[in-house]
Structure 1
């Protein structure tokens, strides 16, 4: 077997199509067919069937909910793998075991095991896509590491997502569903929810965040059709919050603290708590103390994260209409009555008008910038759209640094895309 280096593996992925249907056999009109991926897994002795899962789908909150649940399981000493996307800095971030990224050496080793089989299929005209290849690597890696549970985050949709090749998971989580990726998933909440509900299988139990009525109906109908129990998590009671943390209570009278900011993070934490309890019912030893410590110790950079004080600088990866809505709600909650200076970068295929209109009422001024992604919207064009709303806007250039903006602002918010987060140091 040829041993590939880490740099060779990364170069391979960088040259693969991203979110584009594969060539040759396996491509389907409605996005990806999973045929090629399933063929690859078959040749590798079906590693996906040898693991236990929590499957997480939804529009917003998947990453935070996964992070909360991973932290809880870590406190409970459960060997936990987590496969998440997108990565912000390196591919390694997508593969975590007990919160630690896969090493370069391990990445190269697993890649080297999958690549020859990928080549065999390619010779026969079956081209596995980038995310299919990465998902297969995840199964192989987590199996090698002896993971007791794998948290599997859906990349896009659900029904035809590359992660939806697994047997029935222990728990299926549905985070809030809203409008996003409409060219692929559909133009109505019912269509989008139907795609995301495609992860629900006979044998799983489903935990869902609060949803819109149309989404609730889809989830209820889907769960009924496959005989899967469904629980909608009741909203938590907010006890206290400030710019450094939040305290909340759940229906059982228990209280928890989190340093994660943003009004929506309480809902994500509550869903993770409910999922942890479902796992306890299935035999995993997860104490109340593990849940409490797990929630308190969760970190997730880029989700309404406070970068600095005086003035407050917030960074948030919200990138669709629901993300913009909860971002505005959070800013209005933490900084009542204050106008916000935004640094905004958005992908051109998002609902740019909706995002701008949602944030406009609290905008003092907006600086625009390119997102480090080929799909980025031109900063000049974005600034023009904001000016049309009567708000001062200009592209961020070398004449205006973040420090300059801070000196002229009461509150600064960097937002519009998860990919934007990679431009700013976690420190």
Structure 2
């Protein structure tokens, strides 16, 4: 089923109904969800060990690496992520002992949502809080060895932060994003993210670009007397002779490079390895090797190797999909594109859709010296999508040549029209938003599974 098909799942019908009754947005407070969870019997207190992950960038990748590590060790792992790309069910992955976790069954999710709506009894609450309550209800009722819980927005007042005794709290790279909610300086945002730390519970701090953010995180963990591991100080990772070298106080591991491309994934993998260890799980070198080979995370430098959209692109094109949407995300994706260019030169085209809470000029600036042309597209199914003309002007302000297009397929057709005989097939990066990535995966007929 894709977003273009008329069939609507039972869970989606329930969510649509709830959206007519409750606001879609964020209203940062823990009072409403705490009240609701109390009525539901506090399922958040009946979970297996929780790995709680916050950060501006990299938290989804860290979550994926944690899952790969735990599953490589034979554990059943429940995983909560947000936002979803194509279907609401992607937010809830139910663990399978000795196997790969599966997206929640539609009937199971629909039933959980109905029970939560009944328990809420029409009181004020946001849809995100209801969806988070569903996480705790589902994960408390299905057996598993661990839960990986990704923060939705911020940390301190995020609906996931009703967890009082995480096995480990993980803070991934922090940069400016969601300033309207979290503050306009990295140290303010770091303080919000640090809100998931709990007194005396282990903390892992991932690679931080900004020293001010790093200092806030370390001082908070020290104040709360948390056993703390800091990237670059207590653990690290780097590439050496085409291998990933991971090192921490327990020793050194010589591993294959992770399946997720881009140098930024080395630090993400390292944070996950250290986090899973801090959570009390055994992580052998064999488990790490298997995890690096099996890790998957849609729309994070995902190579589109099949699907409907490939028919519109020039034959032999290399098409990448990435949901990075802020200046820091743009920089790591641009670095990956530049590395690809070094290995195999190709003209780079961008097809970009963004929402109106982001910094498009800052995002595009990272590509100013490497992209030939930008096509801008409006994101479907959201009122927050930036007008393609406005987005094209932002790309122009960042030093790029840009023009609007009606869809990703139209942009690919235009790239095909411009392809000269005998020229190298292009490299095409589709991105700028996880919401746009979801549109593309739906159109391509390859939703996450």
Relative to the length of structure 1, the TM-score reads 0.89
Question: Matched residues in 1 for 2:326 and 2:252: separation?
Answer: 34
Equivalent of 1:44 in 40, 43, 48: 40
Instruction: Give the match for residue 393 of structure 2.
Output: 384
Secondary structure of 2:51 counterpart:
strand
Given that 1:86 and 1:155 are in contact with CA atoms closer than 8 Å, whether structure 2 keeps it comes out as yes
Separation in 1, partners of 2:10, 2:350? 41
Structure 2 unmatched runs, 5+: 1-8, 96-100, 306-314, 420-424
Aligned to 1:222: 220
Secondary structure class of the residue paired with 1:254: strand
* Aligned-residue offset at 1:108: 1.4
Matching of residue 264 in structure 1 with residue 264 in structure 2? yes
Distance 1:11 1:389, change over 3 A: closer
Q: For 1:389 and 1:64, how far apart are their aligned partners in 2? A: 28
Distance apart, 1:363 and its partner CA = 1.8
Match 1:350 to one of 344, 348, 358: 358
Aligned to 2:438: 422
Verify: 1:413 aligned to 2:429, yes or no. yes
Aligned partner of 1:81 in structure 2 is 78
**1:256 to partner: Cα distance:** 2.0
Counterpart check, 1:177 vs 2:180: no
How big is the shift at 1:332?
Answer: 0.9
Change beyond 3 A, Cα 1:254–1:382? same
- The alignment partner of 1:87 has SS state of coil
Q: Deviations over 1:95-120 (max 9, x none)?
A: 1123211111101121222111111x
Shift of 1:401: 4.2
Aligned mate of 1:318, from 307, 324, 331: 324
Please point out which of 393, 408, 412 is paired with 1:402. Answer: 412
Large movers: runs of 4+ above 4 Å: none
C-alpha displacement at 1:94, in angstroms? 0.4
Unaligned runs of 5+ in 1: 22-31, 242-246
In 2: Cα distance, 1:64 partner to 1:176 partner: 11
Q: Secondary structure at the match of 1:156?
A: coil
Alignment of 1:239 onto 2:247: no
SS at match of 1:303: coil
Structure 1 residue aligned with 2:422: none
Aligned to 2:16: 11
Correspondence 1:117 to 2:123 = no
Deviation at 1:174, TM superposition (A): 0.8
Distance 1:394 1:10 in 2: 36
After TM superposition, the structure 1 = structure 2 runs for residues 279-290 of structure 1, keeping only pairs within 5 Å, are: 279=279, 282=280, 284-290=281-287
The match for 2:133 is: 136
- Change beyond 3 A, Cα 1:198–1:384: same
In 2: Cα distance, 1:184 partner to 1:60 partner: 16
State yes or no: 1:360 paired with 2:359. no
Measure how far apart 1:339 and its partner are. Answer: 4.7
> Equivalents in 2 of 1:5, 1:88: separation in Å?
18
The worse-fitting range, judged by mean Cα deviation, of 4-13 and 302-311 is 4-13
Pick closer, same or farther for the CA change 1:364–1:134 going to 2, 3 Å: same
Does the residue aligned with 2:108 lie in a helix, a strand or coil?
A: helix
CA RMSD of aligned residues (A): 2.1
Please list the CA deviations of residues 20-55 of structure 1 after superposition, one character each: whole Å capped at 9, or x if unmatched. Answer: 43xxxxxxxxxx221111011111111111112110
Instruction: Describe the SS at the equivalent of 1:376.
Output: coil
Question: SS of the residue aligned with 1:265?
Answer: helix
Q: Distance in 2 between matches of 1:412 and 1:79?
A: 37
**Per-residue Cα deviation, 1:248-294 (whole angstroms, up to 9, x for no partner):** 11124312222211221111111111112223xx3x34433223212
Q: Give the TM-score normalised by the residue count of structure 2.
A: 0.84
Distance 1:386 1:5 in 2: 41
SS at match of 1:18: coil
Relative to 1, partners in 2 of residues 1:57 and 1:290: Cα closer, same or farther, differing over 3 Å?
same
Which whole-Å CA distance do the structure 2 matches of 1:388 and 1:253 have between them? 46
Q: Separation in 2 of the partners of 1:389 and 1:6? A: 42
CA 390–218 in structure 1, closer or farther in 2 if over 3 Å, else same: closer
Q: Contact between 2:378 and 2:406, CA under 8 Å: does it hold in 1?
A: no
Alpha-carbon distance in 1 for matches of 2:11, 2:435: 23
Q: Secondary structure at the match of 2:244?
A: strand
Residue-pair matches, total: 401
Deviation at 1:13?
3.9
| SS of the residue 2:368 aligns to | helix
| Offset at residue 417 of structure 1 (A) | 0.5
**Partner secondary structure for residue 394 of structure 1:** strand
In 2, the alpha carbon distance for the partners of 1:181 and 1:110 equals 30
- Tell me if the contact between 2:12 and 2:88 (Cα under 8 Å) persists in the aligned partners: no
Q: Deviations over 1:119-177 (max 9, x none)?
A: 1xx3xxx4121111111111111111112211110001000000000112011111111
